[in-house]
């Protein structure tokens, strides 16, 4: 694995938040990523890794809202990368998009099953580059990712000891879902505090599937927040609560 720091000439989304791209490569594979940092003098800086949902990308609206909220409310930086077949990834071509629109289960089997380890490596390399920056440093790290963000977040949480707390959810256990097996295998190994989010009207994940996966989360320090609404209708108040959860847990390691 090797990484190349770069992209230091950032732009400001507003007076309190700086956005910049970072140049990251793992085994010759470019990793598209973006870092948002608050205008804070507190170093080292806390960083939350935010994994986007299916069909999204590193600058998806939920990701940028999380970055703005973490900076404004808690003075925390945000790091995001594109999923394996998303955003600026080379694999995000017309054939992949057509298959995703036609058959999501076939899409997941084809594009996700062999990508779990690569995504772990890519996230860790991006974090290495971000923490090497003089205005970030090596501070406590959290993870936030729902739906596909949970799919690729669970293996990362287990592999990366720098992550001290996590918010996951919008995911469930389904017997025979081979593309999900890595999640099922790893979720029992989680040992850090976890907030798990559920949507009670989720059209993609049943209540029993949610309950089964939550029960499999390995840590004893876990809690479940369930809200009315469909899969993509997580309320703003819950996003605020999840940011507060991460801020409080990370503050214990500052």
Please report the pLDDT score of residue 12 as a whole number: 47
What mean pLDDT do residues 1-24 have?
62
Reading the block at residue 254, the tokens are 């500052």
pLDDT band at 4 (very low <50, low <70, confident <90, very high): very low
What mean pLDDT do residues 182-194 have?
98
Please report the pLDDT score of residue 9 as a whole number: 41
Classify strands 11-14 and 17-22 as parallel, antiparallel or unpaired.
antiparallel
What mean pLDDT do residues 24-40 have?
94
pLDDT band at 40 (very low <50, low <70, confident <90, very high): confident
Total of domains in the chain: 1
In a domain, 205, yes or no: yes
Please report the pLDDT score of residue 161 as a whole number: 97
Say whether pLDDT at 13 is over 80. Answer: no
Quick check: 147 and 53 in contact, CB under 8 A? yes
Please report the pLDDT score of residue 155 as a whole number: 98
Please report the pLDDT score of residue 11 as a whole number: 47
pLDDT in tens, 152-178: 999 999 999 999 999 999 999 999 999
In a domain, 40, yes or no: yes
In a domain, 206, yes or no: yes
In a domain, 124, yes or no: yes
Mean pLDDT (the chain) is: 93
Please report the pLDDT score of residue 3 as a whole number: 36
- What is the share, in percent, of the chain residues with pLDDT greater than 90? 83
- What is the share, in percent, of the chain residues with pLDDT greater than 70? 94
Please report the pLDDT score of residue 15 as a whole number: 61
pTM: 0.93
Say whether pLDDT at 28 is over 60. Answer: yes
| b/e burial code for range 192-215 (CB count within 10 A of at least 16 → b) | bbbbbbbbeebeebeeebbeebbe
Say whether pLDDT at 23 is over 70. Answer: yes
Beta bridge partners of 80: 34
Please report the pLDDT score of residue 7 as a whole number: 40
pLDDT in tens, 82-99: 999 999 998 889 999 999
pLDDT in tens, 59-71: 999 999 999 999 9
In a domain, 170, yes or no: yes
For residue 208, give the CATH number of its domain: 3.40.50.1820
In a domain, 4, yes or no: no
Q: Which of 39-53, 131-145, 202-216 has the weakest average pLDDT?
A: 39-53
In a domain, 102, yes or no: yes
Domain span at 30: 11-251
């Amino acid at each position: 694995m090797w990484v190349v720091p770069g992209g230091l000439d950032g732009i400001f989304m507003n007076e309190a938040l700086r956005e910049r791209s970072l140049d990251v490569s793992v085994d010759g594979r470019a990793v598209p990523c973006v870092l948002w940092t608050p205008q804070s003098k507190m170093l080292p800086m806390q960083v939350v890794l935010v994994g986007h949902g299916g069909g999204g990308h590193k600058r998806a609206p939920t990701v940028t809202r999380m970055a703005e909220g973490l900076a404004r409310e808690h003075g925390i930086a945000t790091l995001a990368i594109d999923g394996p077949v998303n955003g600026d990834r080379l694999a995000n071509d017309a054939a992949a998009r057509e298959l995703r629109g036609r058959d999501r289960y076939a899409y997941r089997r084809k594009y996700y099953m062999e990508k779990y380890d690569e995504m772990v490596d890519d996230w860790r390399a991006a974090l290495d580059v971000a923490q090497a920056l003089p205005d970030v440093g090596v501070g406590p790290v959290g993870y936030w990712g729902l739906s596909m963000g949970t799919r690729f977040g669970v293996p990362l949480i287990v592999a990366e000891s720098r992550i001290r707390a996590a918010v996951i959810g919008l995911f469930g256990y389904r017997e025979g879902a081979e593309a999900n097996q890595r999640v099922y295998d790893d979720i029992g190994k989680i040992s850090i505090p976890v907030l798990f989010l559920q949507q009670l009207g989720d059209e993609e994940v049943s209540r029993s599937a949610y309950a089964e996966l939550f029960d499999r989360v390995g840590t004893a320090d876990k809690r479940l927040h369930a809200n009315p609404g469909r899969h993509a209708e997580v309320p703003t108040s819950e996003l605020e609560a999840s940011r507060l959860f991460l801020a409080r847990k990370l503050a214990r390691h500052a």
